[in-house]
Structure 1
Amino acid sequence: MRVSTGAVEAAEVNIRPINSEVVSQEEVSGSLEQKNLVDYSAERKKSLQARYSYGIIFLVTNLIAWFIRDYGQRLLPQLHYPKACGTEGHDCFRTLGVLRVSLGCFIFFFLMFLSTISTRKLFEARNTWHSRWWAFKFFLFIVSVAVPFFLSSDFIQLYGEFARIGAGVFLLLQLVSVIQFINWWNNCWMPDKERKQSCSFGLFISTLFYIASICGIVVMYPFYARRTSCTLNIFFITWTAILLIVMMVVSLHSKVNRGLLSSGIMASYVVFLCWSAIRSEPATEKCYTKEQVNGNGDWTTILSFLMAICAIVMATFSTGIDSQSFQFRKDEVQQEDDIPYKYGFFHLVFSLGAMYFAMLFISWNLNSSARKWSIDVGWASTWVKIVNEWFAATLYLWTLISPVVIQSKVMDNDEPMQQTDESAIP
């Protein structure tokens, strides 16, 4: 008994340290996991906050471009000295000045795009570069904006032609993002049996959007097409009304069955684009009821100008963070150490947005200067918005019809196979 008791005590002595080591290892691993979770949360928070810093940089660039265009020639005499600015600095103000600032903004965000395009995890060095190092990035931004003012005017004109294409790509990305948002909103408020969700609120919202769209069409006729000679405006408004009817009919078709909410939101967006296009017509036209404003602009002109700049920034920001709408695979699983949004796509959209705001400030025209406190005014701007409206309606209709077309093709391919299998049966 004494021997067995001693053996048991020795065994207990040997076992206790092992158990204590196991417990300590589990505690250490648990604390490391908890620390990693805290670090992931902190890194993700910094990454999300970095978006707003880039948005502020983009807003400041817009304000610099406006200042260079309208007041740079009078308040920045030092730009007369660089040879690239020409005699008295004319090639660094007005249209060319806007393009130079736009090129600087494009260079900055394109460099950020190249340096963050393949970032996947929060603890990569590229994530640190995206979310921190603001002093160095501010210096890089200043250099990027300053360099174009030493480039030749011919090169800046070439960039302007290239910027038209980039601005068109930006509009396309924005349309896709808007349509995806409309579809998401429609899915949220569509009736769902599993969630026991009624359609009353969705029907109410869709009714409001359709009422607003119809009122917009009705109001635009007396304001912008009150003369029979205003054939172009009459055509714009009438064709927009036809698009509204077509979108409503297609969305209610039995094979599509998408309801009225998405088509109602899209109808309001299309009417807004038509109104914005007509408002972009030159103020001296006989069908445009707004009177010509003075060079300094009244308070409504200044307010609408500032709202337009904020709209540019918000459109660029919202499109940049909406990388999920442009993913080819929708089934990707989000890990806790994954970045919250695609950095490369975010910076690419901002670089295209730099070209877009340049086109708005010069009204898509490389050969003339816009008036003070004006933005996106002229026949070129009008036609760009009209084409954008038509393309938006076409793209939306395709999103409604494409599932039906694909399904019908699949059924047509399955029928011959079934017939072949049946004929093979003796």
Structure 2
Amino acid sequence: MGACMALCSLASCASCLCGSAPCLLCGCCPSSNNSTVTRLLYSFFLLLGTLVSIIMILPGMETQLRKIPGFCQGGTAIPGIENHVNCDVIVGYKSVYRMCFAMACFFFLFSAIMIRVKSSKDPRAAIQNGFWFFKFLILVGITVGAFFIPDGTFHDVWFYFGIVGSFMFILIQLILLIDFAHSWNEVWVRNAEEGNSKCWFSGLLFFTVLHYALAFAAVVLFYLYYTKPDNCAEHKFFISFNLILCVIISVVSVLPKVQDASPQSGLLQSSIITLYTMYVTWSAMTNNPNRECNPSLLSLVSNISTTEAMPTSSPGMVQWWDAQGIVGLVIFLFCTFYASIRSSSNAQVNRLMQTEEGKGSMGGEEVGEDGLRRVVDNEEDGVTYNYSFFHFHLLLASLYIMMTLTNWYKPDITTQAMQSSMPAVWVKISSSWLGLGLYLWTLVAPVVFPSRDFN
């Protein structure tokens, strides 16, 4: 989609940026639904902000900025030019907090504007689906203003906003994974019934076993490296309790009554949720401030002591590119892209995600008299997703990115440094429990309420 749109003429691009929603596409692009293109473009804004945050947190960035004459306060100045920029603010965790604050404000603004939009006939739908150039200017303006926020208690307060928002986004990630697993299972089972059943069922079996094997291997490694015989009681509880919960949901997913009421449920979905739960458990344990229970991967690989493997970094410098941070970023990218193009037939997940059943994917072709394809307005009768909730979801994603890039560390106002904290541990663990509860509900709800339509 992105490569195709890049080949469009400048006139076409201008119509997309400044015009209304059904903008002109170039001849090489396939026709797309209005709702899909809009979600992809908003997701692009989020990914652009994420990229800027990553660049600003890279090591050595402050040193490079200070080489620019007259740029940083206290740096080498050109005669007659004052140093106006505080380079301590535009690099490190402070820049991440401000960039993500700007994105959160941007999406909160549109979430409030788009409340109760029912169809594309609503005048606000034109704002949702068009005027992209002006939206970009708004985002840039909010971002510039965010970097003028005084330090004070801003970072400490915004940390707790990040904690709450990330907790909610982890649940949304799990709901999206549930939806993806249901869609995956449904498509492969349908292909098996229509074609080579042996091949498709073998594929389902292979990935199910693979997911469970990875989850079991993770549990073994957790017990080996994140617990001690006479210490780390919290980690022992987290690992054991989550393992028991994963066994329970796996057994429930194949019970005869559950299968009769919800034939699309199965072990593939449970295996994906189990693996994701193990990731969240691992991510939580890596935030434990007790270094004896939280060894660095470097010390595990090279047999270096924990203190030697954790060099003292300059204040504000946060290294997010450890294993759990990279995995979290990959899962975030997948879920963001999937949320932009998803079209689910799972009624319960659609209710949780505020979308309409069976809508929002690729529609029919609409070709103009000049032979060029156009974006199809597929929301004249009703929106295919809740505009306000979608922006709220991106707001939470902004907060999750902020916490991921700063390793969920808590800013210390006194030392201007970042520290691990137990609140981050409990937020992640409790989100895994609530997420497992949501998945269990999608399994038992059709049994508990047989009169309702969950198909």
Which residue, 231, 234, 239 being the options, matches 1:232?
234
CA distance in 2, matches of 1:53, 1:349: 14
What is the CA–CA distance in structure 1 between the aligned matches of 2:404 and 2:432, rounded to whole Å?
16
Amino acid at match of 1:182: A
User: Residue deviations 1:346-405, cap 9 Å, x none?
Assistant: 333222211222233344455338x9xx99965333332222222222221222122111
Indicate if the aligned counterparts of 1:206 and 1:261 stay in contact, CA closer than 8 A. Answer: yes
Q: Where do residues 2-401 of structure 1 align in structure 2 (5 Å cutoff)?
A: 44=32, 48-49=36-37, 51-68=39-56, 75=65, 95-114=93-112, 118=117, 120-121=119-120, 129-130=127-128, 133-152=131-150, 153-154=152-153, 158-190=157-189, 195=194, 197=197, 199-225=201-227, 227-257=229-259, 258-282=265-289, 284-286=291-293, 288=295, 290=297, 291=299, 292-294=309-311, 295=313, 301=321, 308-322=328-342, 325=350, 326-327=353-354, 330=357, 337-339=377-379, 342=385, 343-364=387-408, 366-368=410-412, 378-401=421-444
For 1:166 and 1:230, locate their aligned partners in 2 and report how far apart those are by CA, in whole Å: 28
Residue identity over aligned pairs, in percent, reads: 25
Which amino acid in 1 is paired with 2:292?
A: E
CA distance in 2, matches of 1:193, 1:309: 33
Aligned-pair distance for 1:215? 2.5
- Spell out, residue by residue over 1:153-210, the C-alpha distance to the aligned partner (whole angstroms, 9 max, x if none): 4566555444433333222222222222222223334489974756444334322322
* Equivalent residue letter for 1:262: Q
How far residue 145 of structure 1 moved from its aligned partner, in angstroms, is 0.4
Which letter does structure 2 place at the counterpart of 1:180?
D
2:258–2:443 contact (8 Å) kept in structure 1: yes
Per the TM alignment, residue 338 of structure 1 is displaced from its structure 2 partner at its CA by: 1.0
Farther off after superposition, 123-132 or 379-388: 123-132
Q: Which structure has the larger Rg?
A: 1
Query: Hey, what's the Cα distance between the residues in 2 that align with 1:404 and 1:205?
Result: 27
SS in 2 for 1:176: helix
Distance in 2 between residues matched to 1:306 and 1:190, nearest whole Å: 32
Change (3 A) 1:201 1:236: same
Q: How many residues align?
A: 365
Q: Would the aligned equivalents of 2:97 and 2:155 in 1 still touch at CA under 8 Å?
A: yes
Q: Is residue 320–residue 347 contact of structure 1 (8 Å, CA) maintained in 2?
A: no
- TM-score normalized by structure 2? 0.63
Compute the displacement of 1:310 (Å).
Answer: 4.6
Deviations 1:209-262 (A, max 9, x none): 222322222233223235443333222222232123212221222212344222
- The one-letter code of the counterpart of 1:65 is S
Q: C-alpha separation between the residues in 2 aligned to 1:159 and 1:376?
A: 15
Range that drifts further, 136-145 or 221-230: 221-230
In 1, distance between residues paired with 2:418 and 2:36? 31
Residues 1:362 and 1:62: Cα distance change in structure 2 (over 3 Å): same
1:268-289 deviations in Å (ceiling 9; x for gaps): 2222222332334348325525
- Change in CA separation of 1:347 and 1:386 when aligned onto 2, cut-off 3 Å: same
Distance 1:243 1:318, change over 3 A: same
With normalisation by structure 1, the TM-score equals 0.67
Which amino acid is the alignment partner of residue 136 of structure 1? Answer: F
- How many angstroms apart in 1 are the aligned matches of 2:421 and 2:215? 25
Post-superposition offset of 1:131: 5.3
Structure with larger RCO (C-alpha < 8 A, sep 6+): 2
Checking the alignment, whether the CA contact within 8 Å between 1:62 and 1:309 is kept in structure 2 is no
Q: Any gaps of 5 or more consecutive residues in structure 1?
A: 1-35, 82-86, 411-426
Does structure 2 retain, via aligned residues, the 8 Å contact 1:280–1:382? Answer: yes
Runs of at least 5 residues in structure 2 that lack an aligned partner in the other structure: 1-22, 75-84, 260-264, 300-308, 345-349, 365-376
User: Do the aligned residues in 1 keep the contact of 2:93 with 2:406 (CA within 8 Å)?
Assistant: yes
